[in-house]
């Protein structure tokens, strides 16, 4: 399951790169801005997926330490 999620995160990053490439090739400023926002959303989602996978792989002791540091 974790490997599938990591592949999904990679796909999201690939989509973001493709969208940014299209944004770079358009002269329509509104479309360019919209594509950049969409790409940023894909990147954000990929980071969230990565974080969830890391958290799921943590040992209970490591999780307690991380949560204590974040508090």
Q: Residue 9, Cβ neighbours under 10 Å: how many? A: 21
Q: Residue 39, Cβ neighbours under 10 Å: how many? A: 21
Predicted model pTM: 0.80
Per-residue pLDDT, 62? 75
- Kindly report, residue by residue over 31-51, the tens digit of the pLDDT: 999 999 999 999 999 999 999
**CA dihedral of residues 33, 37, 43, 47 (deg, nearest 10):** 150
d(CA 7, CA 9): 5
Mean pLDDT, rounded, for 52-63: 85
Q: Are 49 and 8 in contact (CB under 8 A)?
A: yes
């Amino acid at each position: 399951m974790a490997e599938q999620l990591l592949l999904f995160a990679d796909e999201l990053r690939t989509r973001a790169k493709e969208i940014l490439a299209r944004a770079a090739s358009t002269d329509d400023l509104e479309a360019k801005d919209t594509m950049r926002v969409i790409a940023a959303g894909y990147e954000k989602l990929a980071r969230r997926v990565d974080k969830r996978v890391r958290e799921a792989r943590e040992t209970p002791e490591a999780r307690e330490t991380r949560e204590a540091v974040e508090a």
